[in-house]
Structure 1
Amino acid sequence: MVGGGITGLSAAYRLREIAATREIPLEVALLERGDRVGGPLETIRRDGFVIETGADSFLSEKPWAADLARRLGLGAELIPTREIYRRTFVVRAGHLVAIPAGFSMLAPSHLGPVFFSPLFSILGKLRIALEPLIPARTDGADESLASFVTRRLGREVLERVAQPLAGGIYTADPNRLSIAATLPRFVEMERRHGSLIKGLRAAERSSTAKNRNVSGARWSLFQSFKTGMAALPKALAAKLGSSIRKSAEVVAMSRDGERWRLATANGDTVEADAVIVAAPAYATARILSSIAPRAAQLLAQISYASAATVNLAFMQSDFPAPPEAFGFVVPAIERRRIIAGSFSSFKFEGRAPDGAVLARAFVGGVLQKEMMLLSDDEIVAAVRDEFRALLGIGVTPTIVEVRRWPNSMPQYEVGHLARVTEIETLLADVPAFAIAGAAYRGVGIPDCVRSGEQASDAIFAKLISDT
C-alpha cells in the first residue's frame, strides 16, 4: 500500500478484514512518505477547543465512511450537525446575505424565496424563473460548471451561488470544472426532467424528510466525530499497527518475475505480490513512468490546487452580532482574500468552551493562488482583515492555527471522467496493481474510503484467483 491518507488506510484495513473473514494469511505493508498518517484529517485539541485543520465533516448520504466508522467501533462517536444553525450566507457587496431557502448548490426548488432575496437583481430573478423553459441538452457531452449553470440559470446564479459553493468544495475555476465529474446529480436532473427546478421539486416530493428552511449545502446530511475527524484515521492506524511504515517515500517500482519491487527514498526495498497506490496522481505518475508510460502521462495531466485553513478562537461577546449560521462563502467577483468562512462551534456540539466561538477561514485555491505565496503571519493578517470587514470582529483571537495543504486538491476539469476511464483501462493490463484516491471519482472522505476498499476487493480477488 503506497500512501497513508484516508484512502490508503481504508484500503489496508479492508484487506485485513477480507483476509480475516476468509481465514487467509495476508501481510500488509503501508508505506507513507511523511511522519504521520491521515493526510488532511488532523485534529488539534487545545484549551477546550476541537480544531480541525482539514475536513471537518463528511457526507453521510454516501454511506462508506460512516459504515467504516461503525465497523471500527466508532458508531457512538458519530454526531450530526446542529439543526438550529443549518444555513449558509454568501457575501454580496461586503455584506452577508442568506442563500434563499430551498436553494440546493446550483438551483432553487421554489421561486418564492428567490424573489424575496436581495442576493439577485430583478433581471437575475427573472432569468432563474425562466429555467424550466430552457431546452435540455441532448448530446451528452461534458461541459464546465460555468457553462452548465449559465446556460440553465444565468450568469448571476453562477457568480453569486454556484461558483462560491463549488469553490468551497473544489477550490476550482468554474470555467474548467467538469459538471459531470463533480455534480452529476444536476446533469441527471436535466436529462430526466428537462429542468433543474423541476428535478429538485420531484426530489423534494419523493423525500420523506423535507426541510425547506435549509439552504446551500444539505447540512442535515453531514456528520463528524465527537473527538474530531482524526478519530477515523487514528482508529485505522491503531488496527494496522506495525504494518504502517512512515518516512518511507516510494520513488520507483519494478516488476521482478511474479513480484513487485518498490524502492524508497531512504534506500530500502520492499517486495510484494500486489500493490495499491493511493498517492496523489502526480506522485503515482512518477512511480508508474517506466511501467505504464501512457497511463503515467494521463495521471500527470490531473492538476492540483493548494489551499490553507486558518482557525481562530474568539469569545461570543466579541461579535457585534453572532452569525447564526454554519458559515459563509465568498464569490470571486467580490475580490476578497478568503474563499469562505465557517463557525465550527455552531456547526457541531463540543467544538468550543461555553461562550467561545471557533471560526475558520479558507484561502488559496485556483482563483487565489497568490495567497499561498504569503507567510503564515500575512495570511492571518489577511483573514483578520476580512473578518473585521465582514463580521465586525476586530479583537485579537485567543488561538490562531494555520495549516497549509500544498497540491492537495485534485481538479476535475472538463473531460476528467473520460481521462480516468482511459487510465483505468490502461492499468487493467498491469498485473496485481490498482490505484485509488481522491484524484479519480470523488474528492470527499466517503469517496476516498470507497475507492480504497474497491481497490482492495479487486486486488484480493486477483490474488486468490492466481493461487
Structure 2
Amino acid sequence: MRRVAVIGGGITGLAAAYRLRELAAAREFPLAVQLLERGARCGGALETIRRDGFVIETGADSFLSEKVAAADLARRLGLGAELIPTREIYRKTCVVRAGRLVEIPAGFSLLAPAHLGPVFRSPLFSPIGKLRIALEPYVAARTSSDDESLDSFVTRRLGREVLDRVAQALAGGIYTADPKRLSMAATMPRFVEMERRYGSVVKGMRAAEDARAAKSSDVSGARWSLFQSFRNGMATLPETLATRLGASIRKDAEVVAMSRSGDAWRLALASGESIDADAVICAAPAHAVSRIVAGVAPSAAKLLDAISYASAATVNLTYRESDFDGPPRAFGFVVPAIEGRRIIAGSFSSFKFEGRAPAGAILARAFVGGEMSRDMMQLGDAEMAAAVRDEFRALLGVSAAPGFTEVRRWPNSMPQYEVGHLARVAEIERAVAEIPAFAIAGAAYRGVGIPDCIRSGESAADAIFATLSAPK
C-alpha cells in the first residue's frame, strides 16, 4: 500500500485527492490517500450559506464552462443535472461612471470592443476617448515578446480612458490587482496573441466575434453565457468531493514542515504529530508551500515566497424588491478605482441565477478590498457592511436596511500575477521537479479560476500516480 498526502483542502486539494482515488480504482492499485486541511472545513473560497430560502455565495459564485475541468469533474461526480446556466434575461454588466451605472457597450470584452458602433453610442467614453479607440487598428503592433503590464498594454493600444473606465475595473473584479503590476501574458494571453496575429486587438476581437457567428453580439461585459453554477450553490462541488473522500480527510491538521525519512516523506504538523507518506501534493497557497518546503528546497521556497497575495471580502445583503425604486436588471457592476468608491464591484445573485432568493426578494453582494483598496480590509465587519450599504444607497438608491447581512473575509487569498509571473512559475516548476515524489498545485501558478485549480490538482495527481505506479 502506497501513501499520498495532499496538503490543503480547497478545491485544488480535493480535486487532486479524488483524482488519485479514481486512478487507483481504475488501475486496481493499492493506494492510501490522506488530505490534510489546516482549518475546520474544506472547500476554501467555495462556501455557500443556505438560509431562509436564500442561496448565498461567500466566495466564487460561478465557473467558466469554456474551461472544461470543472464541468467534467461535476459530471464524473454525478452532478451534471445540478449544473445551471446564467439567466439570459439579465445578461448585461454595468460600470460606474460619475456615480451612475452605465451599461458596458455590447461586444466589449474586458478591455476591447469587437464593434465600434456600440462604443460611439455609449455615454461611457468621452469623444476623445472614442476617437482613441477607433484609432487602435492603426497603432503599430509591439515587436518585443517581453511580458507587459495591463496598464501598459491597454494605454498603448486603446488609450488611458479605456484603462481607467473599463479594463482596470473588470480586471480588478477578477484578479483584485494593480494594473501597473498585472501581467498580460499570465492573465490575458489571448489579447497579446491578437496583437501579434492581427496587429490590432479590435481586429482580433472582430475575428473572434465572426467565428462565434455573432452568438454574443448583444451581450455586454464578460461573456456570461459561458458561466455556470450549481442549483444549490457552488459549495455543492467541494461538499460532494468531501463526502466521497470521507475518512481520507483530516481537518485541523496544519502541516508546518517536511523532511525525508528514508525513501518517504515525514510531515510535521503544528500539533506536534507527524505523518509519513511516499509522495506529497501541496495544494496550499504559495506562501504556505514556501514555509513547508524551506528545509528541503530553500531555492524553491524563496521563489514561492516571491508570489504576493491580496486580501478581499464579500458582503452579501438581502432586500425586498420594493426596497428599490428600480433595481438595475443586470448581473452586476464594476467600480473603477478612478471613481474613488469603497467597493470594487457589486452583483445581483438573484438576477444572475435561478433560485438564489425567495419570490419578491433580491440577493445582492459587494466585493471589497484587493490590491487597490487595502484600507477597506482594516475595517471591522459592522463597519465594512455599513460602508457597503452607503455605496448601495449612493449607486442604487436603496436606503432600506437589509434583511440580513453576511460578511466573509478572505485574507491573503488572491495570488497576484505580476509582470514576469510565467517566467517565475517556470523557475518554480524546475526547482520543484528536483524534489522527489512531490508536486505543487493551486491558484498561484497558471490560473486562478475554479477550472484552472481543478486542472492543476488533477495534473499533479496524474504525475504523482505515474511516479508511484511506475515499474521499478
* TM-score, normalisation: structure 2: 0.98
SS in structure 1 of the partner of residue 319 of structure 2: strand
Deviation at 1:52, TM superposition (A): 0.4
Q: Distance in 2 between matches of 1:211 and 1:302?
A: 36
Deviation at 1:135, TM superposition (A): 1.0
1:147 corresponds in structure 2 to: 152
The letter for the 1-side match of 2:462 is D
Q: Distance in 1 between matches of 2:137 and 2:297?
A: 47
The letter for the 1-side match of 2:194 is M
The letter for the 1-side match of 2:176 is T
| Mapping of residues 277-296 of structure 1, within 5 Å | 277-296=282-301
1:17 corresponds in structure 2 to: 22
- 1:283-308 Cα distance to aligned partner (Å, 9 max, x none): 00001111111111010010000010
1:373 corresponds in structure 2 to: 378
2:200 corresponds in structure 1 to: 195
- Counterpart contact for 2:216–2:223, Cα < 8 Å: no
- 1:63-102 Cα distance to aligned partner (Å, 9 max, x none): 0000000000000000000001111000000000000000
SS in structure 1 of the partner of residue 451 of structure 2: helix
2:12 corresponds in structure 1 to: 7
- Counterpart contact for 2:283–2:442, Cα < 8 Å: yes
The letter for the 1-side match of 2:148 is E
Q: Distance in 2 between matches of 1:197 and 1:91?
A: 23
Deviation at 1:179, TM superposition (A): 0.6
SS in structure 2 of the partner of residue 317 of structure 1: helix
The letter for the 1-side match of 2:310 is A
SS in structure 2 of the partner of residue 426 of structure 1: helix
| Mapping of residues 347-386 of structure 1, within 5 Å | 347-386=352-391
- 1:295-354 Cα distance to aligned partner (Å, 9 max, x none): 110100100000100000001111111211000000000000000000000000000001
1:90 corresponds in structure 2 to: 95
- Counterpart contact for 2:96–2:333, Cα < 8 Å: yes
Deviation at 1:25, TM superposition (A): 1.1
Q: How many residues align?
A: 467
SS in structure 2 of the partner of residue 439 of structure 1: helix
The letter for the 2-side match of 1:304 is Y
**Alignment partner of 1:408 is 2:413:** yes
| Mapping of residues 239-388 of structure 1, within 5 Å | 239-388=244-393
1:185 corresponds in structure 2 to: 190
2:3 corresponds in structure 1 to: none
Q: Distance in 1 between matches of 2:10 and 2:267?
A: 19
**Alignment partner of 1:237 is 2:264:** no
* Counterpart among 104, 112, 115 of residue 110 in structure 1: 115
SS in structure 2 of the partner of residue 298 of structure 1: helix
Deviation at 1:466, TM superposition (A): 5.3
Query: Sequence identity, in percent?
Result: 75
SS in structure 2 of the partner of residue 41 of structure 1: coil
Q: Distance in 2 between matches of 1:75 and 1:26?
A: 28
1:28 corresponds in structure 2 to: 33
**Alignment partner of 1:444 is 2:449:** yes
**Which stretches in structure 2 are left out of the alignment for 5+ residues?**
1-5
**Alignment partner of 1:54 is 2:40:** no
- Counterpart contact for 2:317–2:406, Cα < 8 Å: yes
SS in structure 1 of the partner of residue 382 of structure 2: helix
**Alignment partner of 1:464 is 2:460:** no
Q: Distance in 2 between matches of 1:237 and 1:209?
A: 41
1:159 corresponds in structure 2 to: 164
The letter for the 2-side match of 1:36 is R
Q: Distance in 2 between matches of 1:433 and 1:208?
A: 45
| Mapping of residues 163-174 of structure 1, within 5 Å | 163-174=168-179
2:45 corresponds in structure 1 to: 40
Q: Distance in 1 between matches of 2:300 and 2:133?
A: 42
Q: Distance in 2 between matches of 1:162 and 1:370?
A: 22
* Counterpart among 127, 130, 135 of residue 130 in structure 1: 135
1:220 corresponds in structure 2 to: 225
| Structure 1 runs (4+) greater than 6 angstroms displaced | none
SS in structure 1 of the partner of residue 313 of structure 2: strand
Deviation at 1:62, TM superposition (A): 0.3
Deviation at 1:209, TM superposition (A): 6.1
Q: Distance in 2 between matches of 1:60 and 1:92?
A: 30
Q: Distance in 2 between matches of 1:208 and 1:65?
A: 26
Q: Distance in 1 between matches of 2:308 and 2:471?
A: 36
* TM-score, normalisation: structure 1: 0.99
Q: Distance in 1 between matches of 2:461 and 2:200?
A: 39
Q: Distance in 2 between matches of 1:177 and 1:127?
A: 23
SS in structure 2 of the partner of residue 169 of structure 1: helix
